Amino acid sequence: MAAADSPSAALRRRDLCSRGIRLAGKMRADVIDLLDAYVEQQGLDASASVAAVEGVPLAAVERWDEQTGTQRLLENLAAYRAFRALLAQMLEEQREQLGEADAGLGRALAAVLLQVSAFAYHLEELLRLESRGIPGEEEEEDGPPPPPRLSLFEQKLRGLGVLRELAQWALRSVRDLRQLAKPSPATGVAPGLVESP
Amino acid sequence: GSLGDPQNLKCVTHNLHKMLCTWDGSSRGRHTQTDFCYTTNDLTPQVCFKTKERRVEIPVPEGSITVTIKSSGTAFATKEFVIHQKDISFVPATPHILSLMPDFPTSTLNLKWSDNGSVFRYGLDALWQIQILRKEATEVTYYSKLTHEDVILSWNWTSDMPLECTSHYVKIRCYINATQFVGPKDWSDWSPAEMIPGKDTEPGGSGVFPLDPVVAVGSDLTFCCVHEEDQHITNMTYGSKSYTMTQLSSRSHAIRVLNASVSNTSGTNVVCRLEDGLEGSVVFVGYAPDIPQNLSCETSNFLIIKCTWKPGRPSGLYGERRTKYSLFERTSGKNVSCEVSEVSRDHVCDFPVLRDQKTYDFILGVSNPIGQSQSSLMVDITRRVRPKTPEKLTVTGNNSTSIQLRWFINGSFAGTRLLCQIEISSSHSERKLHNVSIPGRKFSTYTAQMNALHPDTKYQFRVRCSAADHFWRWSDWSRGVEQTTSEAPP
């Protein structure tokens, strides 16, 4: 059980949470814009159903209410690290397939990748604040094993799946951070990560 | 003759010098001993042998042959036949396919077979009928000349649909136009069929084919969707348009797209919607590269030769399928690949100036997955000098009627004479141009003296240079410099 929060740590956490909420909100808006541009540029059907894509973390979670603060942060961090690797691969494939044609989409993709990286760092800040060890940065340095070589259409569908799921995750992150920022009923102070219900 | 007599004697030759003769007789005597004799004409002795079969192989006669068949054991079963060449059928031996190899990227089958020419004593014209069986049969005739040797013939056939779409079967038969042979001539039997299995025979072979092809604008394309047996196809679309499907097999449906137009940068999606998922391919439709126009090469510093050209119609292909350029110089054999961006308007390629080489015989090679072209240019580089813009133009001396200028040119012009032009302008006199011819040097500064100026007058100067011998093009103008002459001495 972590020691009761000092007021400054609680304030710092609330500040990090609210900044994180803004970051996630902006990221979601940009991802949705990117998704529209991606669907059009790749000639896809916006309503196309895409099977779960290997390596893409699912935002939907059972018993969301029962998660502890630490679980929320750790799951968020793992997800955004995965998205960082997936978006980097999408960017690489984009350059390979399109070169400098349609550089606009490449720039938008790179911008979202930057935001995802920044948000992952932000989550690490929150974890450090709670003197929580940052999970396996080294193991994840090389990121997930490279997926099998997909055909171009499969690459397009995977990109669609990645962006859709990232938009969902941004939404979930906002809710998770709001949850973390809530003061606990007893002390009126934002709870240490462990005490969250 | 009675029922038991040998009858219906028929002879067939496969090689024009031996023939196989068969006959009918009573079923009772099927395996009894038979005396078979033949003689081609009165001069040669009769040849006889015993056989239990009702078939014998004997020489093809030049004219006619008399055959006597006596079934031993029954005195009456002796029959004589006179066979003329016109009674003998010539049916080539059944050909055999040596190999049938698929090349999936190009949807091409390569067929190899032996023409069995060694069985014939002289050259003959041969016709080969090749049947390709899929959903519907396709028949093609191929001609060759037999040369008394066994020659392995090779033939390519490009399918109008990807080989993956469904199994392709190939068989072949032969007809030999032996004009000297007067008997009836016929096609051989069909060879056993060889098969290239389609993906619709493979478990888990689902997908849309061809996969991610690059094709020329205007092509007629066939795409197929291979799916599992029990999977229902909802539709197949090319881009945003749905197409009528043709069923190739229980696991394969195809669409036909005519006169394909150029695809957008990320390619045109061919999507097969199944009840529980999507399969797809991305087709890139573009143009083969145009022949580069206005190829021109010059050097600005005698270190690098810069070639420029007009690419012509954009190919419509990007990224790893973009049009690539390379510059090959025939004299030195040196080849340089050019970094050219498909979206930028300028097409430029740098080639190093080679020691002791004045004349360059360039070939600009252009290629993309659809085709290639080239342009060539022979150039004497000393006649294609366009110096870089003169830099650091400064005034180094000044009195009431003259001003000395100095500037720097980035380049190696030793051995080249430079012609520099100085533009002189002032408020109360017309713009004048003053030419000076200067021996070039390596990465050097140059000076020039402007005389006959007016005292106490503000002047603006700028300079540009070119090669003095074999003028080609001026450099750009340098930045200007301003100077006022001093007052005249009292």
The alpha-carbon gap from A48 to the nearest alpha carbon of chain B, in Å, equals 8
Question: B interface mutation test: which of A40, A45, A90, A153 has the most B CBs within 10 A?
Answer: A153
**A39 and A160 Cβ atoms separated by less than 8 Å:** yes
**DSSP run (H or E) holding B309:** strand B304-310
**A83 and A158 Cβ atoms separated by less than 8 Å:** no
**B113 and B191 Cβ atoms separated by less than 8 Å:** yes
Please tell me the predicted confidence (pLDDT) of residue A2: 43
Q: Is B317 on the interface with A (CB under 8 A)?
A: no
User: pTM of the predicted model, to two decimals?
Assistant: 0.81
How does the average pLDDT of chain A come out, rounded?
A: 84
The alpha-carbon gap from B288 to the nearest alpha carbon of chain A, in Å, equals 18
pLDDT at B342 over 80: no
| Chain A residue nearest residue B263, CA to CA | A43
Considering only the beta carbons, identify the residue of B207, B277, B343 that sits closest to A101.
B343
Domain boundaries, chain A: 13-132+154-181
Query: In whole angstroms, how far apart are CA B88 and each of B10, B20, B126, B188, B367?
Result: 7, 9, 19, 15, 59
The alpha-carbon gap from B310 to the nearest alpha carbon of chain A, in Å, equals 19
pLDDT (tens digit, 9 = 90+) per residue, A120-169? Answer: 999 999 998 877 677 775 445 555 566 677 899 999 999 999 999 999 99
| Burial category of B268 from C-beta neighbours within 10 Å (exposed 0-12, middle 13-18, buried 19 and up) | buried
The alpha-carbon gap from A95 to the nearest alpha carbon of chain B, in Å, equals 7
Q: Is B239 on the interface with A (CB under 8 A)?
A: yes
Q: B319 and A95 in contact by Cβ < 8 A? A: yes
State the average pLDDT over residues B413-424.
Answer: 94
Topology, domain A13-132+154-181? Growth Hormone; Chain: A; (1.20.1250)
pLDDT confidence tier of residue A1, bands split at 50, 70 and 90: very low
pLDDT at A96 over 60: yes
pLDDT at A196 over 50: no
ipTM surpasses 0.95: no
pLDDT at A115 over 80: yes
- Among A89, A45, A51, which Cα is nearest to A165's? A51
Question: A interface mutation test: which of B235, B276, B278, B279 has the most A CBs within 10 A?
Answer: B278
The alpha-carbon gap from A100 to the nearest alpha carbon of chain B, in Å, equals 6
Query: Considering only CB atoms, which chain A residues are within 8 Å of B267?
Result: 43, 97, 152
The alpha-carbon gap from B265 to the nearest alpha carbon of chain A, in Å, equals 7
How does the average pLDDT of chain B come out, rounded?
A: 91
Query: Considering only CB atoms, which chain A residues are within 8 Å of B212?
Result: 151-153
**B206 and B228 Cβ atoms separated by less than 8 Å:** yes
Q: Is A41 on the interface with B (CB under 8 A)?
A: yes
Q: B212 and A153 in contact by Cβ < 8 A? A: yes
Q: In what order do the strands lie in the sheet containing B97-103?
A: B97-103, B108-114, B152-158
| Chain A residue nearest residue B238, CA to CA | A43
Q: Is B343 on the interface with A (CB under 8 A)?
A: yes
Please give, one letter per residue, the 3-state secondary structure of B367-399: EECCEEEEEEEEEEHHHCECCCCCEEEEEEEEC
How many CB atoms within 10 Å of residue A42? Answer: 23
pLDDT at B5 over 80: no
Of A35-44, B77-86, B302-311, the range with the lowest mean pLDDT is B77-86
Q: B271 and A42 in contact by Cβ < 8 A? A: no
